[in-house]
Structure 1
Amino acid sequence: VNMDGTCLYQAVAVVFLAQLHMIDLTLGQQLTIVLTATLASIGSAAVPSAGLVMLIIVLESVGLNPAWIGIIFPVDRILDMCRTVVNVTGDATVSSVIAKGEGLFNYNPNKAPDETFDIE
């Protein structure tokens, strides 16, 4: 569920495309972009360029032309790598916080897992 990079990418890409075509977005449209990008990023699969396909949904939610993704398509591979870095960093951070809270942060490979983690 933690697809932060995809969510940020979709919101920024839609605002960029609107500005590129000199379209002023209302506050309602901007809030729709945030909501739709969040829901689309939750529902998108963790496969390369899935965010680009979900961008069509976000564009159509505010009445923009979905064919405009052709402008972003040539550089999407580079943007996809940046999205992946943000997604993986967020996942690693959450995993570290949970492991710290559960007392599983310091793994000792010389001990049996039952002794290291107090598994009962």
Structure 2
Amino acid sequence: MTITVRDSNDNNQTKTLTLSGVEFIRQFLLYVLPKGFVKIRHYGLLANRNKKTKLELSRKLTLSPIYKPKFEGLTTVEILCILVGRDVTKCPVCGKGKLQASYSLSKGASP
């Protein structure tokens, strides 16, 4: 079996590698975790256990500005009005009346 690999030791050169089927499966299974083990994807500041406290501390130590969510506490219609730059509830024809949201899904239809 011949596969294409990227050699990180040689400036990420693409090379071909010929392996027997058994050797390929052996090397592939080196990346499979045993039952009950979990792969750790984030550690340090980004670990879920530490994320809130450590990120707050690191922001304080590095004097990073605190950003507040732009649309926190606003309804969907208010957010749409801000994004579009006009009142989306006004009638597009006369500009005076207010549009009302109505939902009509037939039974079994997906939204």
Larger Rg: 2
TM-score by length of 2: 0.25
TM-score by length of 1: 0.24
Higher relative contact order (CA 8 A, sep 6+): 1
Which structure: greater strand fraction?
2
